[in-house]
Amino acid sequence: IVVSTQRAQRLARLQMEFVAGISHELRTPLTVISSAAQNLTDGVVEGKPQVKLYGTLIRNESRRLTGMMEQILQFASGQNKRAYEPVPLAPAELVDNALALAASLIQESGVTVEREIEPDLPVVMGESGALIQCLHNLIANAIKYGGEAKWLRIRAWAESDSVRIAVEDHGIGVASSDLPHIFDAFYRGSAVASAQIHGTGLGLSLARNFAQEAGGSISVESVPGQGSSFVVRLPAIRVSAAEHVRLSERTA
């Protein structure tokens, strides 16, 4: 009873912090969008480069808003467990789709991406949209918390009866006091909140749910100031040689 009360109290506190944090997070981009639009309407923005600058500002802030809304909606829908038909998926294809989803983020941040996929990986079972989103959240974090290094690596390899996909960065790392909590919904690291790095605290919680739905898990190793490595483990399955060839061809 004591443990579950403590857990409920902690969740209530996190939810309060989330509501306070998210109100601020939503207000900031809205203020930027509305004042940029006002300046454009008033005709105080002159010349093509200036208009382009304002356009870019509005586009980036709208993207940030959309990203936050999507995470909140995904979290809300995840509360009602979904039923889905798992299908065989090629890990290389998941990695490439996640990188494609993050393409504009990667391009705008100027991050160098290293991609190392072991050849002939076994397939995994799951829902591709969910697993792509899982990897995308890790990639987005590696960029957001990647610091000055502007580097990330995504690796996939087979180990015992599973496939591992690691997303690594040389960024700010996670404080050891934060490590046990970062996969909890609404939790944000102490340093990132005070450094005003934006977020909802839902990305890792969603990523873990998506991995678990596919029968897998996520682990993390991190050294503050040096970087982090998030590893998704997904159970591998054996498929017929023909099916494997078909999946590899789709990936190529």
Residue numbers 201-230 binding ligand ADP by CB under 6 A: 201-205, 228
Is 17 one of the binding residues for ligand ADP (CB under 6 A)? no
Residue 244 CB, nearest distance to ligand ADP (Å)? 32
Is 139 one of the binding residues for ligand ADP (CB under 6 A)? no
33: Cβ–Cβ under 8 A, 6 or more apart, which residues? 57, 58, 61, 62, 65
Provide the CA 159 distance to its chain's centre, in angstroms.
Answer: 24
CA-atom Rg of the chain in angstroms: 20
Among candidate residues 35, 166, 43, 39, the one with its CA nearest the CA of residue 98: 166
Q: Nearer Cβ to ligand ADP, position 98 or 123?
A: 98
Q: 74, 97, 200, 209: which one contacts ligand ADP (CB under 6 A)? A: 200
Task: Characterize 112-138 residue by residue with b for buried, 16 or more Cβ atoms within 10 angstroms of its Cβ, and e for exposed.
Answer: eeeeebeeebbbbbbbbebbbbbbbbb
Is 145 one of the binding residues for ligand ADP (CB under 6 A)? yes
Is 106 one of the binding residues for ligand ADP (CB under 6 A)? no
Residue 194 CB, nearest distance to ligand ADP (Å)? 11
Is 142 one of the binding residues for ligand ADP (CB under 6 A)? yes
Among candidate residues 154, 172, 144, the one with its CA nearest the CA of residue 230: 154
Is 75 one of the binding residues for ligand ADP (CB under 6 A)? no
Residue 60 CB, nearest distance to ligand ADP (Å)? 17
Q: Is the dihedral of CA 129, 205, 60, 22 positive or negative?
A: positive
Residue 193 CB, nearest distance to ligand ADP (Å)? 7
* Cα separations in angstroms, 74 against 41, 79, 173: 35, 9, 26
CA atoms of 139 and 113, how far apart (whole Å): 10
CA atoms of 189 and 169, how far apart (whole Å): 17
Q: Nearer Cβ to ligand ADP, position 122 or 171?
A: 171
The first and second tokens of residue 101, run together, are 């989803």
Residue numbers 158-197 binding ligand ADP by CB under 6 A: 169, 171-174, 178, 182, 187-189, 192
Residue 233 CB, nearest distance to ligand ADP (Å)? 17
Residue 205 CB, nearest distance to ligand ADP (Å)? 6
Residues that bind ligand ADP (CB under 6 A): 141-142, 145, 169, 171-174, 178, 182, 187-189, 192, 199-205, 228
